[in-house]
Chains A and B, each alone.
Chain A
Amino acid sequence: DAGVTQSPTHLIKTRGQQVTLRCSPKSGHDTVSWYQQALGQGPQFIFQYYEEEERQRGNFPDRFSGHQFPNYSSELNVNALLLGDSALYLCASSFGADYNEQFFGPGTRLTVL
């Protein structure tokens, strides 16, 4: 049973560019949440997708947007990259909108130069 998968593993971008990160949830899961983890910090909630809609959003600017596809996979898009966007981006999947046991993928490490 494949767990949560994310691609790419690493990414290097320059300021002002745009990036798309991808996530496939664990088999049987239908809810995807995205988190940003800066070095030495705990993950910070970006947003959550359920039934192809953004259900909730953390304290992140509109430069961060996402999408969920009918097969429950998800994308995170970040526009106009800033140096401060450098972080590990984590995808977590769970079953159902109210279920809270979230399983994380390995993350995508984004470096903005």
Chain B
Amino acid sequence: QKEVEQDPGPLSVPEGAIVSLNCTYSNSAFQYFMWYRQYSRKGPELLMYTYSSGNKEDGRFTAQVDKSSKYISLFIRDSQPSDSATYLCAMFMDTGRRALTFGSGTRLQVQP
């Protein structure tokens, strides 16, 4: 079983829809949670960064972390065709492993 599970999609939504992307994880040592956006054949771009549980909002994006359920979410409001990309969740521990652990990514397609 992978430490971080993410539905690969693809997820297809109409322009303007609210998108919900999710990851689950098994290792309770993860303390930092990130969402990256990756366009085709490009490097991942950091979108949101959250420490421990709670919500964080940045423009049309909201990240939620529920450590008790080991579940994180990214919500995209008023989705645009330019949001079409692969979204990767990533996690990091406070001590020990000095590397990001990624989910496999969810491919999102926003239809105009």
Contacts and interface: CB of A to CB of B under 8 A. Distances in A.
A4 to B, nearest CB: 7
A35 B42 CA distance: 14
A49 to B, nearest CB: 11
Contacts of B36: 104
A91 to B, nearest CB: 8
A22 to B, nearest CB: 14
Interface residues of A, number: 28
Contacts of B88: 42-43
Size bracket, chain B contacts: 20 to 34
Given A4-B43, A107-B42, A101 B49 contact: yes
Given A4-B43, A6-B43, 16 more contacts: A40-B104, A40-B105, A41-B104, A42-B4, A42-B88, A43-B44, A45-B99, A48-B98, A90-B43, A97-B98, A100-B32, A100-B92, A101-B49, A102-B46, A104-B36, A107-B42
Interface of A: 4, 6, 33, 35, 40-45, 48, 55-56, 58, 88, 90, 92, 97-98, 100-107, 109
